[in-house]
Amino acid sequence: MTAFSDQAITDILAKVQAQGIDQCSVDILNNQFSELNVEHGDINLLRTSVGARIFIQGIKNHKRADVTINSLDQLDNAIAELATKIDASPEDRAWDLAEKVSNPNVSVGDLEPNLDSMYAQLAELNDLIAQEFPTVLLESLILKHNNLTRQQKNSLGLNLTEQQGWYVLSIMGTAKDEFGTSSFNYSDVESHTLEGPLIEWGNIREMLQDLKQQTQSKTLPEEFQGQVIFAPDTVPELIEFVVDNTSDNAMIDGTSIYTDKLDQQIFSDKLSVRFEAEGSQRPGEASFTKDGRVCENSVFIENGYLRHFNLERYGANRTGQKAGPHDHEGMVIVEGHQHLQTMIAGVKKGLLVNRLSGGYPAKNGDFSSVAKNSFYIEDGKIAFPVQEVMIGGNMHEVLNNIDDISLEQQEFGSHKAPWILCSGLAIS
């Protein structure tokens, strides 16, 4: 994929500055994808698409605005619009630009798609599903390769470039047999390369096995307060509550429940979370942020201690706190010491939750979600799949009431997580 030349980006900055906007930055993203799609059991579509996004930010007299365009043909009008928006914006001294940093250009992953291997591996997966999971009806099966080039430059000398290639496997389906039809389920797994059988990526095999059983879902025997085992693909949703409550909006408006909790133990000592954010280690994750911070690896939660906030430059300036080391991408929830089957064996009455659906938690952490594609656990055994069930509680308390974390993890590319067993949830 052809990137913009350094001089072309410099010329864009010069055009913005010619409008009297002395502080400005340009962030250009080019993305090309090649996609194979299975329809009606056959691989019958190869689609390639190219897209671009040009994000321009300007600051003048402590007033800030931005515009986004898809083509240089729109540049002159966009710069005029930017100047108008800046004039109409309120003055805020917290806005600034990132200083120049020394940072090597990042290049990672398969930059070009291996179409032959993509076809062969997708065909192998499609055939395997038909043979081993004949009751599963695929609504969607897609293997896509992304090639992304991103460049950021500003008027203070910042100059960052990254290029990465990665694959995304997307699957969605239901199961149907003589007993009934399951609820649909889906999964997306990413990888910089095509290593390993696709059936072993992420939770693909487990999801297909579960769908086979979920045609015989039953209603919950009764409402109760009990334990819930959250499957790996749901665990990041628990941590995102903490991420959002330590980010700009909540920290600036004073609604965060973690404002004064830095370096305090506020979660279960079993919980540790880190971010692998440096150098686009994880597929699709940026190596630098929109506001010009070079992403660094971090320990976010360490044995229950909150180790950093997730503020952007603006939020850091507004609150007087330190800016976060990344844009909270590349989450890894650290594994525990107990095998999953041992965890299940210790549950008297509870749920194994494979998918959550519902509204975002309240600012204090209260939530109510629909548990889907889940199983009822009784006397230490998985008894049967359940129809949609409501679970409720408080997100902060859930992360305090962790009984166990599994030794096993699942790798999704964008994140990696174990199973987490929590107590005290309302199940109905």
Non-local CB neighbours of 50 within 8 Å, separated by 6+ positions: 1, 30, 31, 32
pLDDT tens per residue, range 361-418: 999 999 999 999 999 999 999 999 999 999 999 999 999 999 999 999 999 999 999 9
**Same domain as 190, residue 240:** no
Q: Which two tokens stand for residue 23?
A: 């502080």
> For residue 1, what pLDDT band results from cuts at 50, 70 and 90?
very low
What pLDDT does residue 358 have?
A: 83
Category of 61 on φ-ψ map: left (φ > 0), alpha (ψ -120 to 50) or beta:
left
What pLDDT does residue 230 have?
A: 98
What pLDDT does residue 45 have?
A: 74
Is residue 242 situated within a structural domain?
A: yes
**Same domain as 228, residue 194:** no
**Same domain as 310, residue 280:** yes
**Same domain as 240, residue 195:** no
Task: Name the residue among 349, 340, 304, 328 with its Cα closest to residue 418.
Answer: 340
What percent of the chain lies above the pLDDT cut of 70? 99
Whole-angstrom Cα distance, residue 159 to residue 314? 20
Whole-angstrom Cα distance, residue 227 to residue 420? 10
Sign of CA dihedral 115, 120, 124, 126: positive
Whole-angstrom Cα distance, residue 224 to residue 378? 12
Strand partners, 163: 107, 149
What pLDDT does residue 382 have?
A: 97
Strand partners, 180: 177
**Same domain as 291, residue 178:** no
Phi, psi of 426 (to 5 degrees): -85, 125
> Which residue range(s) make up the domain with 394?
217-428
pLDDT tens per residue, range 44-102: 878 889 988 999 999 999 999 999 999 889 999 999 999 999 999 999 999 999 999 87
**Same domain as 186, residue 303:** no
Q: Which of 215, 241, 272 is the last residue of a domain?
A: 215
Whole-angstrom Cα distance, residue 208 to residue 131? 12
What pLDDT does residue 101 have?
A: 87
Q: How far is CA 96 from the centre of its chain?
A: 27
**Same domain as 261, residue 250:** yes
Whole-angstrom Cα distance, residue 403 to residue 155? 51
Per DSSP, the residues of 21-77 read --EEEEEEEEEEEEEEEEETTEEEEEEEEEEEEEEEEEEETTEEEEEEESSGGGHHH
Q: What is the pTM of this model?
A: 0.95
More confidently predicted of 358 and 250 = 250
Is residue 93 situated within a structural domain?
A: yes
What pLDDT does residue 3 have?
A: 64
**Same domain as 285, residue 203:** no
What pLDDT does residue 2 have?
A: 54
DSSP type of residue 288:
B
pLDDT tens per residue, range 293-312: 999 999 999 999 999 999 99
What percent of the chain lies above the pLDDT cut of 90? 91
Task: Please report, for the domain that includes residue 46, its CATH number.
Answer: 3.30.2290.10
Whole-angstrom Cα distance, residue 22 to residue 8? 18
Is residue 42 situated within a structural domain?
A: yes
Whole-angstrom Cα distance, residue 206 to residue 214? 12
Is residue 107 situated within a structural domain?
A: yes
Residues 160, 3 contacting (CB under 8 angstroms): no
Strand partners, 24: 58
Strand partners, 162: 106, 150
**Same domain as 294, residue 203:** no
Does 288 score more than 60 pLDDT? yes
**Same domain as 47, residue 154:** yes
Vertex 186, ends 184 and 190: CA angle to 5°? 175
Distance linking the first and last C-alpha atoms of the chain: 52
More confidently predicted of 274 and 4 = 274
What pLDDT does residue 103 have?
A: 72
Is residue 233 situated within a structural domain?
A: yes
**Same domain as 253, residue 272:** yes
Q: Which two tokens stand for residue 74?
A: 């729109």
Non-local CB neighbours of 52 within 8 Å, separated by 6+ positions: 28, 29, 30, 31, 70, 71
**Same domain as 152, residue 35:** yes
What domain count does the chain have? 2
Is residue 243 situated within a structural domain?
A: yes
Mean of the per-residue pLDDT values of the chain? 95
Is residue 1 situated within a structural domain?
A: no
